[in-house]
Amino acid sequence: MANIAEQPRKVAIICSHGGLDEAYPALILANAARQADIEAFVFFTFWGLDVVTEEKVDHLHVNMVGNASSPMPTMLMGLPGMEAFAGKKMTKQMAEIDLPGPREMLKILDESGAKLYACELAMRMFKREKKDLVPEVAEVITAGDFYDMAEGAQIIFT
């Protein structure tokens, strides 16, 4: 039996949410894994597909309604334009700390050797094709493929 320290470290991250504030945990965790020389892949499913969909990646918003951590009063969170306002504010704050935008983060992950995959079932549900995705997505895979690839990995659901 191989020593645990001798086995390569591996992480499989599931990104199931498409809000700007919801996508970053998956992107940051995958980037940190690659910086630590940990094999990493991200499986984008359901609304997480927005993060890797060409027409949506540059327009992710911040989900305000139902966000218990928001400093804004609940009554204001549902008003028209609040998600766009929150998204612009978050994008500005990220720029101030030199945090790349989602599209750039996907490029960084791809260049670092992280693998990005889209969920086949979610693709069918949302009527998307591989050509609709950013070029960094390696392929469209099934949940079964995900489990095969994730064998021996830590699985993180964001």
pLDDT of 64: 62
**pTM of the full predicted structure?**
0.86
- What are phi and psi for residue 114, nearest 5 degrees? -70, 145
pLDDT of 36: 97
pLDDT of 81: 72
pLDDT of 71: 65
Quick one: which of 13, 32, 28 has its CA closest to 119?
13
pLDDT of 96: 83
pLDDT of 155: 95
pLDDT of 4: 57
pLDDT of 89: 76
pLDDT of 80: 72
- C-alpha distance from residue 140 to each of 35, 74, 79, 107, 136 (Å): 25, 38, 36, 18, 12
The amino acid at 121: L
Average pLDDT across each block of 10 residues of the chain; the chain has 158 residues. List them in order. 70 95 94 97 97 95 66 63 72 82 97 98 98 98 96 94
**Collapsed DSSP state (helix, strand, coil) of residue 59:** helix
Domains in the chain with CATH codes: 9-157 (3.40.1260.10)
Instruction: Report the half-sphere exposure of 1 (CA within 13 A, side-chain side).
Output: 1
Secondary element (H or E) of residue 20: helix 20-35
